[in-house]
Structure 1
Amino acid sequence: MPLPFAPLLPIALRLGAVATTTWALARIMQDRVHPGRTDQRAEDALDDLDEGLTLHRPADRAEDRQTNATARLRRVIRLRGQVWELDAGLLARVRLRQRPE
């Protein structure tokens, strides 16, 4: 006895369209996303951060109205017999300068 495939055709077409769209978007994103890099100087700066949150304006950058922020969180998490160490660091710089038009 032959199986009726006609009722399954719309579902198969929708799934195929979704799969094709997902594949195409993944390919586009792969081509446009920068692979990134690891800068050892930045890694060392993050390792040297003290725990907590800081916000300051350097005196030598007053004309730029630059504000620097740092944050570091270090915790040990115990979950279901496993021990995880969380070390999150953040360096940020915000600089606001007026430019002539």
Structure 2
Amino acid sequence: MPLPLVPLAAFALRTGAVAGAVWLVRRALVPGRTDQRAEDALDDLGEGLSLHRPADRALEGARQTNAAGRFRRTLTWAGGGVEIDAAWLARLRIRRT
């Protein structure tokens, strides 16, 4: 009885392509680190969004805009619940060269 190789070959090619993509992404990742100062700054944020342009950062030919946001919610249901705490800080600096 002949063995149908076409379906096996298609499966092997697809699996190999996925494995190759995962290998390339894993190779490109850089190990991260946790900065406690950044963690403390994110914990100190108030809830909501804020956007401001500090006057002391407006140097000649440069502007800076800072943004911050925090979202805290607690979701509960019959079996328990989870707390969601998402916070971020951002800076956009534009300079003329």
Would you call these one fold, judging by a TM-score over 0.5?
yes
Residue type matched to 1:36 in 2? G
Provide the aligned length of Structure 1 versus Structure 2.
Answer: 95
Structure 2: gaps (5+ residues): none
Segments of 5+ residues of structure 1 without an aligned counterpart are: none
% identical equivalent positions: 47
Pairs within 5 Å for 1:48-59: 48-59=44-55
Q: Give the deviation of 1:4 after TM superposition.
A: 3.6
Q: TM-score, normalised by structure 2?
A: 0.90
Partner of 2:34: 38
Distance 2:54 2:8 in 1: 62
* Greater Rg over alpha carbons, structure: 1
Pairwise CA RMSD: 1.2
CA distance in 2, matches of 1:91, 1:17: 43
Higher helix share: 1
Partner of 1:66: 64
Could you say which structure has the higher strand fraction? 2
Runs of 4+ in 1 over 6 A off after TM superposition: none
